[in-house]
Amino acid sequence: MIEKLKSALEGCSTEAKKLVQPILGIPAVQTTLVRFMEDEEKSLDEWILDPHSVEVFGRMSGGGVDPIAVSQKLVFLTSDHLLSS
């Protein structure tokens, strides 16, 4: 899965890559990005740079984050994606 994500991220903007690169090793982030990749209406880059995603991913890469709270946010992002598909 990680190689597929890295390959997909190559097509993303520099800003998107910088946002997720430090946290790409986290399973919840990987799962969320895979869900974003499955969306046919919005690109992976658009999903990563969505204001809600930027907020969550930014908090995660900034350190000092409660992993349970972040996981709940990621579940919300993924659920929102699945509901809008």
Tens of pLDDT, residue by residue over 8-31, are 999 999 999 999 988 888 888 898
| Global confidence as pTM | 0.73
Rounded mean pLDDT of the chain?
Answer: 81
- Tally the domains of the chain: 1
- pLDDT higher than 60, residue 64: no
Torsion, CA 61, CA 63, CA 67, CA 73, rounded to 10: -50
- pLDDT higher than 50, residue 85: no
- Range of the structural domain that residue 18 is part of: 2-84
Higher pLDDT, 52 or 80: 52
